[in-house]
Amino acid sequence: MDDNDVGRVLIIAGSDSGGGAGIQADIKTCAALGAYAATAITAVTAQNTLGVQKVEALSVDMVRAQIRSVLDDIGADVIKIGMLANEEIIRAVADEVKDEQAYVVLDPVMVATSGDKLLEDGAVRALKELLIPISDVITPNVPEAKILTGIEIDDVDDLGKAGQVLIDLGAYAAVMKGGHLDGSMVVDMLVSEDENAVMTAPRIRSKHTHGTGCTLASAIAASMALGAPLDEAVNTAREFVFEAIRSAPGLGQGNGPLNHGLILPDTDGGDDDPAASNPFAALKELKN
Sign of CA dihedral 59, 60, 61, 63: positive
Distance CA(96)–CA(165), nearest Å, equals: 25
Confidence band of 3 (pLDDT split at 50, 70, 90): low
Judge whether 257 and 113 are in contact, CB under 8 Å. no
Residue 160 CA to residue 98 CA, distance in Å, equals: 27
Q: What's the angle, vertex CA 205, arms to CA 46 and CA 236, rounded to 5?
A: 80
pLDDT score, position 113: 62
Catalytic residues: 177, 209, 211-214
Q: Is the model's pLDDT at 134 over the cut of 90?
A: yes
50 touches 119 (CB < 8 A)? no
CA-to-CA dists, residue 97 to 68, 125, 134, 166, 256, angstroms: 9, 18, 9, 19, 33
Q: Note the pLDDT of residue 194.
A: 83
Give residue 17's pLDDT: 97
Contact assessment for residue 16 and residue 211, using Cβ atoms and an 8 Å cutoff: yes
Whole-number Cα distances in Å, 203 to 161, 238, 272: 23, 12, 35
Tell whether the model's pLDDT for residue 162 goes beyond 80: yes
The pLDDT value recorded for residue 112 is 64
* Domain map (residue ranges) of the chain: 8-285
Distance CA 163, CA 210 (A): 24
On the question of pLDDT at 277 being above 90, the answer is no
- Compute CA distances 276 → 6, 27, 52, 279, whole Å: 12, 20, 39, 8
Q: What is the predicted pLDDT for the residue at 267?
A: 44
Mean residue pLDDT across the chain: 88
Q: Interior CA angle at 142 toward 266 and 15, to 5°?
A: 65
The three state secondary structure string of 37-96 is EEEEEEEEEEEECCEEEEEEECCHHHHHHHHHHHHCCCCCCEEEECCCECHHHHHHHHHH
User: Would you place residue 286 in the very low, low, confident or very high pLDDT band (cuts 50, 70, 90)?
Assistant: very low
Average pLDDT over residues 48-57: 93
pLDDT attached to residue 245: 94
Phi-psi sector, 50: left (phi>0), alpha (psi -120 to 50), beta: alpha
Tens digit of each residue's pLDDT (9 = 90 or more) over 28-41: 999 999 999 999 99
For the cut 80, the answer to whether the pLDDT of residue 269 exceeds it is no
Query: What share of the chain has pLDDT > 90, as a percent?
Result: 76
In this prediction, residues 204-231 reach a mean pLDDT of 95
Q: What is the mean pLDDT of residues 119-123?
A: 77
Q: Is 147 left (phi over 0), alpha (psi -120 to 50) or beta?
A: alpha
Q: Which CATH architecture has domain 8-285?
A: 3-Layer(aba) Sandwich (3.40)
